[in-house]
Amino acid sequence: MHITMIGGGYVGLVSGACLAAFGARVIVIENDPIRLDRLKAGNIPLYEPGLDELIAEQRQAERLAFSDDLASALQKSRAVFIAVGTPTRRGSGHADLSYVHAAARAIAAHAPDGLLIVTKSTVPVGTGRQVAAIVRQARPDLTFHIASNPEFLREGHAIADFMQPDRVIIGLEGDPTAPSSTARTLLETLYAPLNQPESRLLFMGLESAELTKYAANAFLAMKVTFANEMADLCEATGGQIADVTRGMGMDPRISPHFLMPGPGYGGSCFPKDTQALATSARQAGTPMQLIETTIAANEARKRRLAERILALAGNDITHCTIAVLGLTFKAHTDDMRQAPSLTILPLLHEAGATLRVYDPQGMDTASPLLPDGILYADSPLHAAEGADILLVLTEWPVFAALTPTQLAPRMRGRLILDYRQIWQGHNWQKAGFHYHCLGCGTHRDSGS
């Protein structure tokens, strides 16, 4: 089956390459000429493990191509996926739908009869119907089908998430249970490799599919925020968050996932999607207080951690060198969007600290976003040279492998702030370091 994917960004590239691997013939439409040239040259403009190889393999097999010619691509296609960005609109929590609407207009201009139009971008409830209305208005005589197929890819694990999903959510117009609907049949064919041993496709109405995406991300953001607040309480009372979350997580109704405390959630999804959901809910007259509070608590956390570091350094860090390991919002990505480092580091820099930072993938993206004067190291050990404090902000595996024996001769001070719980504290304490981790209370006298 021929399909068109509009958008050569993260979602478009991963989905396009994976659908090609499932057997479809995919043309990814990219309008930015520089990005398009890079893609055609095999120079993939983002870091996602395995993506370069998968794209090269699928291009070689002639199942994947890049183009800016939407009209020709659509003529051959049974389905078109909209995978363009939906950033937060400046000054409001609304998702900016201008790229989605522009894609709908462009599709309307060239769509062949019978085309299936699928929104893959994360879009607020009601957007699928807006897309349908745009196409209907421009081409009243056109027969087409509309579907919502939100993605649940995690950066750093996107290919596995696409190839072995927990579920594929598909929202359809009309009766989503009607087995004969054209949209349903086309999507079942496209995702056929996922139907073994049993179907992971979950059909529902358009609105439900759009809401499911936001509900899942907002719930996970809330869960992480709960773990962060619980970690603060553990610190204040002598509890150990790792024990508490293990104890909670063994209850299958809770599950152990997304309970790891950290410096606050970031990335291109949780911050944007919680905002958009809160805005949709307010607009619908059913405000969601849990999500509103989650957003505020997460923002406050990043600032509070900077204040805590200042306090640990005696409120004067003007002569203090801080080695920072990790800048990206999580490991296995070069993505700096809404990374906690973007709030924490400027506050420490402003307070007068010397910051020497290292990240395996994020430094090029990070440097224009961080204040001038921050020093960029070429390895974790280089970052630690002469440092008084070592602060871990991202859980890159390369940092977990560092030992007290490696760091002790390089650092001037002995304070380790492990804000991703990558190390065993007692190893550092034995070597004479002061080791702080999130949610590790100091009055521990039992437990295993």
Q: Which residues bind ligand UGA (CB under 6 A)?
A: 122, 151-155, 217, 220, 224, 258-260, 262, 265-267, 269-270, 329-330
11 vs 55, beta carbon nearer ligand UGA = 11
Q: Is-contact 55 44, C-beta < 8 A?
A: yes
Query: In the bound complex, what is the minimum distance in angstroms from residue 420's beta carbon to ligand UGA?
Result: 8
76 vs 167, beta carbon nearer ligand UGA = 167
77 vs 361, beta carbon nearer ligand UGA = 361
Per-residue CA distances from 267 to 87, 105, 155, 408 (Å): 12, 29, 9, 33
Query: In the bound complex, what is the minimum distance in angstroms from residue 331's beta carbon to ligand UGA?
Result: 8
**Cβ-count burial of 96 within 10 angstroms (0-12 exposed, 13-18 middle, 19+ buried)?**
middle
**Three-state secondary structure string covering the chain:** CEEEEECCCHHHHHHHHHHHHCCCEEEEECCCHHHHHHHHCCCCCCCCCCHHHHHHHHHHCCCEEEECCHHHHHHHCCEEEECCCCCECCCCCCECCHHHHHHHHHHHHHCCCCEEEEECCCCCCCHHHHHHHHHHHHCCCCCEEEEECCCCCCCCCHHHHHHCCCCEEEEECCCCCCCCCHHHHHHHHHCHHHHCCCCCEEEEEHHHHHHHHHHHHHHHHHHHHHHHHHHHHHHHHCCEHHHHHHHHHCCCCCCCCCCCCCCCCCCCCHHHHHHHHHHHHHHCCCCCHHHHHHHHHHHHHHHHHHHHHHHHCCCCCCCCEEEEECCCCCCCCCCCCCCCHHHHHHHHHHCCCEEEEECCCCHHHHHHHCCCCCEECCCHHHHHCCCCEEEECCCCHHHHCCCHHHHCCCCCCCEEEECCCCCCHHHHHHCCCEEEECCECCCCCCCC
Query: In the bound complex, what is the minimum distance in angstroms from residue 38's beta carbon to ligand UGA?
Result: 22
Active-site positions?
269
330 vs 356, beta carbon nearer ligand UGA = 330
Cα end-to-end span (Å), the chain: 55
Q: Which residues contact 153 (CB under 8 A, 6 or more apart)?
A: 10, 11, 14, 161, 162
The CA dihedral of 435, 375, 272, 394, to the nearest 10 degrees, is -30
**Cβ-count burial of 46 within 10 angstroms (0-12 exposed, 13-18 middle, 19+ buried)?**
middle
8 vs 404, beta carbon nearer ligand UGA = 8
Query: In the bound complex, what is the minimum distance in angstroms from residue 153's beta carbon to ligand UGA?
Result: 5
Query: In the bound complex, what is the minimum distance in angstroms from residue 264's beta carbon to ligand UGA?
Result: 7
Cα–Cα distance for residue pair 75/94, rounded to 1 Å: 34
118 vs 224, beta carbon nearer ligand UGA = 224
Query: In the bound complex, what is the minimum distance in angstroms from residue 84's beta carbon to ligand UGA?
Result: 14
Query: In the bound complex, what is the minimum distance in angstroms from residue 127's beta carbon to ligand UGA?
Result: 15
155 vs 334, beta carbon nearer ligand UGA = 155
93 vs 262, beta carbon nearer ligand UGA = 262
Query: In the bound complex, what is the minimum distance in angstroms from residue 258's beta carbon to ligand UGA?
Result: 4
Query: In the bound complex, what is the minimum distance in angstroms from residue 285's beta carbon to ligand UGA?
Result: 26
25 vs 330, beta carbon nearer ligand UGA = 330
